[in-house]
Structure 1
């Protein structure tokens, strides 16, 4: 029992303080507000502020960071976001962002394409990407 308490105590700060880094290719010179980010991930905006095409990438539904991102960036639960996109897809008015399995996959895609925007755990950021926003 004592072991479980100690392990739980050690993991609690990690779960509570999971900052999310919104990342783009280093050559991308755009700036972004949290409102712009929400508009990109809901299909209401399709370009960066500099006019270049923006392609958002999402983590898979099963990724714990996904639900945190939905709440912090979009102000909605994951089920609300899923319902939002289901409605748009059904009516032919939108396509949800591509989903990938891991932070590593997001970093690889972003590092290889200046139009892709994604998000990862702040601790996963590498020097191959540029952080536009950090969501606390």
Structure 2
């Protein structure tokens, strides 16, 4: 019975996680961006943005990159390893949670990041819904 309850609880957690809507956010004065611009920014391709993302292993990070850059966690790790090794770039700064993301983005007009749409408040603006 305990195993059944554990499985049920884990299943419900997956359902709630699957309902999370990841959005790209910027400073409240930021303009909307295209999915293509977001992809370039998060892959360090000549963007004027200061980019923040969640720590490696975050489910939201995986969802974001699946939807926007088209890369899995392992592909993303390999991509950044190659960029660093060849001197072509460094991965974006990371934050641990939504409040740290909001603090980083609200304090810099050229900063962008992503978060669950449910965590958006007046300190950041949704600039893309992938």
**2:45 is matched with which residue?**
44
- Segments of 5+ residues of structure 1 without an aligned counterpart are 48-53
Deviant stretches of 4+, over 3 Å: none
**2:123 is matched with which residue?**
128
Report the CA distance shift for 1:107/1:9 in structure 2 as closer, same or farther (over 3 A).
same
Structure 2 Cα separation of the partners of residues 82 and 58 of structure 1:
13
Q: TM-score, normalised by structure 2?
A: 0.89
State which of 90, 106, 109 in structure 2 corresponds to 1:114. 109
Residue deviations 1:19-42 (CA, integer Å, cap 9, x gap) = 1021101112x2211111001011
**1:75 is matched with which residue?**
70
Q: How many residues align?
A: 128
Matches within 5 A, 1:18-37: 18-28=20-30, 30-37=31-38
Query: Residue 88 of structure 2: SS of its match in structure 1?
Result: coil
Return the offset for 1:5.
5.1
Structure 1 Cα separation of the partners of residues 7 and 91 of structure 2:
41
Structure 1 Cα separation of the partners of residues 24 and 34 of structure 2:
11
**1:51 is matched with which residue?**
none
Return the offset for 1:88.
0.8
Q: Report if the CA contact (8 A) 1:20-1:121 is conserved.
A: yes
